[in-house]
Structure 1
């Protein structure tokens, strides 16, 4: 089943300030994650194998396909997520069939505020970022998600020029 969210990503050098703001507005600090995202060449959208080492849930993996415009603003994303019990085998198979495009390594602090996921990310080779994902229910108007992210952008003091349209994989590939 295709799911949707509205997302916004920005450069955000002071992750401690982000942590403090998230708690101040009532977000729940749910987890600290080490993630390795291996992106594969895909004909449409982006395809990645995410390997996760979670402080709360331990080690897991999931295959994620998503499509969204690369615009420098909040944007709607469509995605599929499938749990992967044997990530090494999937990685080997997808590498053989599609080829690895790039590997993104990051430490993510995850906060939840209602239906919004707040990510404070330290990305190897790129720096620090803040990302909001307003997860939409089936049939929910995207305008709800855009309104939530606009409010959060103000709460966190994100300047328009800090917002980025590219994925971490695109930024690493561009060098």
Structure 2
């Protein structure tokens, strides 16, 4: 399976962070509308990411929930019928939640930096240091830690849960 090192942080000033990342980025960002449906999965997470009516990705991944850099192992398969696949998987496995977001994707070397506007949650920074087969987790963590410092992200801003978990908690315990 492919691997990356992930970090997620809650952010207060989307525009200010956008400007900082733009100075580091390899080019202009992509804006991506994402609709992620999560399914009941006992040994990891399974989500269907709808990108368009005729384009989606089924993604299985495993990672620990912890603040700071963490390794994620994942496998991805593309689909041309995300709505049909969502219906089938919901019937077969059950739905575990849904996350709708607008993602601004920057590339900085081998790292995908996401500025996410998550419906019902707010704004977040998430980045994934994509590891080459011969790279160690320690090398990826070093890259992630360097980016945290360069972007001036404080430890107390780090988030240890997936968006779907945060949304499900909010629904169970509204303010």
Residue by residue over 1:44-102, the C-alpha shift from the partner in whole angstroms, topping out at 9 and shown as x without a partner, is: 1110000115xxxx962100011100011110000001001111111111000001111
Residue by residue over 1:133-161, the C-alpha shift from the partner in whole angstroms, topping out at 9 and shown as x without a partner, is: 00011121111111111111011111100
- Residue matched to 1:150: 145
- Are 1:38 and 2:33 an aligned pair? no
RMSD: 1.3
From 107, 117, 122, give the equivalent of 2:117.
Answer: 122
Distance 1:172 1:59 in 2: 26
Q: How much has 1:30 moved relative to structure 2?
A: 3.1
TM-score by length of 2: 0.93
Extract unaligned runs of 5+ from structure 2.
171-175
From 161, 165, 168, give the equivalent of 2:160.
Answer: 165
- Equivalent residues, number: 170
Helix, strand or coil at the partner of 1:139:
coil
Distance 2:6 2:69 in 1: 5
Residue by residue over 1:18-67, the C-alpha shift from the partner in whole angstroms, topping out at 9 and shown as x without a partner, is: 211112124423310110000001011110000115xxxx9621000111
Helix, strand or coil at the partner of 2:29:
strand
Provide runs of 4+ in structure 1 moved above 2 Å.
Answer: 26-30
From 133, 136, 155, give the equivalent of 1:141.
Answer: 136
- Residue matched to 1:16: 15
For structure 1, which segment, 3-12 or 22-31, has the greater mean C-alpha deviation from structure 2 after superposition? 22-31
Q: How does 1:47-58 map to 2 (within 5 A)?
A: 47-53=46-52
Helix, strand or coil at the partner of 1:28:
coil
Extract unaligned runs of 5+ from structure 1.
none
Residue by residue over 1:86-139, the C-alpha shift from the partner in whole angstroms, topping out at 9 and shown as x without a partner, is: 111111110000011111000000000111000000001100000110001112
